[in-house]
A = this chain, B = another copy of it.
Amino acid sequence: MAKLQAGYLFPEIARRRSAHMLKYPDGQVISLGIGDTTEPIPEVITFGMAKKAHALSTLEGYSGYGAEQGEKQLRAAIASTYYGDLSLEESDIFVSDGAKSDISRLQVMFGSNVTMAVQDPSYPAYVDSSVILGQTGQFQKDVEKYRKIEYMKCNPENGFFPDLSTVSRTDIIFFCSPNNPTGNAATREQLTRLVQFAKDNGSILVYDSAYAMYISDDSPRSIFEIPGAKEVAIEVSSFSKYAGFTGVRLGWTVVPKELLYSDGFPVAKDFNRIVCTTFNGASNISQAGGLACLSPEGLEAMHKVVGFYQENTNIIMETFTSLGFSVYGGKNAPYVWVHFPGQSSWDVFSEILEKTHVVTTPGSGFGPAGDGFIRVSAFGHRGNVLEACKRFKQLYK
């Protein structure tokens, strides 16, 4: 624990935001920082949850402990909706209370004697959970990296896909696509190389697809679209950004039966044991919400929610593009990754906050290769996004 650097990124931003609001009580702060959904959950989905809540007051509708792995019906619906063509089954799906919790449970399963690689920049929970589990060495202040973690640099020069020929072998590879924070989705060809790389090295690939529904081109929506991925990959995903479930808490992890340790033991058996020992399942009400999400009406409603945030993304991208910035991401993700070459991310973050009262996220919070960038999140009310973009235009005109 002592190795961990300062605060976890998002609580740190929340602290700075609060300090700013104290300083400017009339500042009309707009948050495009933490990727937190803002739009109401479609009624077809909340109706399903309210119905379940009421049912819990009846003899017929009451249920106690559910299966730790999630309700059969929901596991089946996830399998058929997202993996229908990919020969994954209900039993390959583990329902969770969200991707962050499952990343931590996976880390507990891997234990402290593994090595890991992450994209640089990447969602901080991969690195921080690795540090907490004792997988890493000390933090090296000069390079802003932990010893024993392999940082796979992703930047405009390599099209945000790591040069695998320079990446050392690790036991575990965390990979997020569409990426948080860069917004980049890896192509089929790139993911094919990544799967082959994991196979050649005997690595387990933990693939975070929490933004897959934001893909607007033909990039793969699941790692399991890549032939052979079932033998090397675990996929973590979530309802948070599809249905506004950031507060409701529901996600899932796919551990295919085909994924084996080098001694032939199925990884899914270990994960099942972890889930049964350290978790009691996602809330039955959230799971009823998940089922409602995957009904025909729920799916349509989720696509509308995603479409709304995609429009926000376009507005933000157009704004920064029109101001002459190099802008990345956005096309396949609700995040816009704006380049401020030669500047420190925290300086840019502070200047934007100070002068426009808009909270963004400093790129360096996601890893050293994120420095010089800020992440602008498309999660916001339309009016706020438009107002923020107006202020950006005033600041950078």
Contact = CB atoms under 8 A, between A and B. Distances in A.
Interface of A: 1, 4, 7-8, 10-11, 34, 36-43, 45-47, 49-51, 53-54, 56-59, 61-66, 68, 97-98, 100-101, 103-104, 108-109, 111-112, 125, 128-129, 132-134, 244, 246-249, 270, 273-274, 276-286, 289, 379
A283 B286 contact: yes
Name the 4 nearest CB pairs between A and B, nearest first: A104-B278, A247-B284, A50-B50, A49-B53
A44 to B, nearest CB: 9
A64 B271 CA distance: 28
A129 B63 CA distance: 26
Given A111-B134, A270-B1, A273-B8, A57 B36 contact: no
A274 B7 CA distance: 11
Contacts of A45: 57
Contacts of A277: 8, 100, 104, 125, 128-129, 132
B249 A282 contact: yes
Contacts of A101: 101, 278-280
Contacts of A8: 273, 276-277
A56 B37 contact: no
Nearest to A249: B283
A56 B11 CA distance: 23
A39 to B, nearest CB: 7
A82 B63 CA distance: 26
B64 A42 contact: no
28 contacts: A7-B273, A7-B276, A8-B276, A11-B68, A36-B65, A38-B64, A41-B57, A43-B57, A46-B56, A53-B285, A62-B244, A63-B247, A100-B277, A100-B278, A101-B101, A101-B280, A104-B279, A108-B133, A112-B112, A129-B278, A132-B277, A132-B278, A246-B280, A247-B281, A247-B284, A249-B282, A249-B284, A283-B283
Contact of A59 (B40, B56, B104, B270): B40
Given A36-B64, A112-B112, A283 B248 contact: yes
A54 B289 CA distance: 12
